Amino acid sequence: MPATPTTLTTLTTLDEATPAALHPVLRPLPPLTAAGARLLDAASELFYERGVRAVGVDLIADTAGTTKKTLYDRFGSKDALVALYLLRRAHRWREFLLARLADAPAAGPDRAGSPDGTRVLLVFDALEAWMGGQRRGCAFVNAYAELGGTDHPAVPVVRAEKAWMRALFDVLTGDAGLGAHVHLLYEGTLVVLTAGAGATAAVDARRAVEVALAG
């Protein structure tokens, strides 16, 4: 029984998928001052590329062209900055994804025999475009790997993001079992794209999704 509420599984249509209304952890982003925005930008890139614990606040402040003082005035702590980094990334990924899905024909749920290029496959297309050949994988999985055993404020953000993706696949497929199957493929694809030895993960994933939808 997770600490965060799981009202997400009641999601039934894409229109309800505005994250803030669905999950208190996925609150709207706070406004940022000029230096604050530079700090969050610098921190986001450094955190993603090198890991959360490997990046110190001095480096963040220097990269942003500002000072530690300003960092702590704006964000209060490094932990809060980490949580905000993941929160903003989750928002941006959802916007990126929903914008692509909004252009889809999107009649009924995606099942066997639906028109080619189902919305589920669009998610995997979006994932590939989002990743763009990067080798650092899923920011949420990475952060959880570093912080999972703690009560760090970023942990519930990670769980909320994963729950939202699962709920999205449930909606797109109209079937909880199928949604779970595709969600497992989605998470597996992210891992193999990153730490896998072969380069065929993307095409493997597409074929697997097609098999799952046809089953």
Shortest Å, Cβ 49 to DNA:
14
Q: Judged by CB under 7 A, which stretch of 14-22, 58-66, 94-102, 129-137 contacts DNA?
A: 58-66
CA atoms within 13 A on the CB side of 35: 14
* Residue from the set 137, 171, 172, 173 that interacts with a copy of itself by CB under 8 A: 137
Q: Note whether 69 binds DNA by CB under 7 A.
A: yes
* Residue from the set 144, 154, 172, 173 that interacts with a copy of itself by CB under 8 A: 144
Q: Note whether 171 binds a copy of itself by CB under 8 A.
A: no
d(CA 215, CA 206): 14
d(CA 63, CA 159): 29
Measured from the CB atom, the residue of 55 and 121 that comes closer to DNA is 55
Q: Do 51 and 210 contact (CB within 8 A), yes or no?
A: no
Q: Note whether 7 binds DNA by CB under 7 A.
A: no
d(CA 132, CA 112): 29
What's the CA dihedral at 92, 98, 102, 105 to 10 degrees? 140
* Residue from the set 23, 26, 36, 166 that interacts with DNA by CB under 7 A: 36
Q: What are the residues binding DNA (CB under 7 A)?
A: 33-36, 53, 55-59, 65-70, 72-74, 77-79
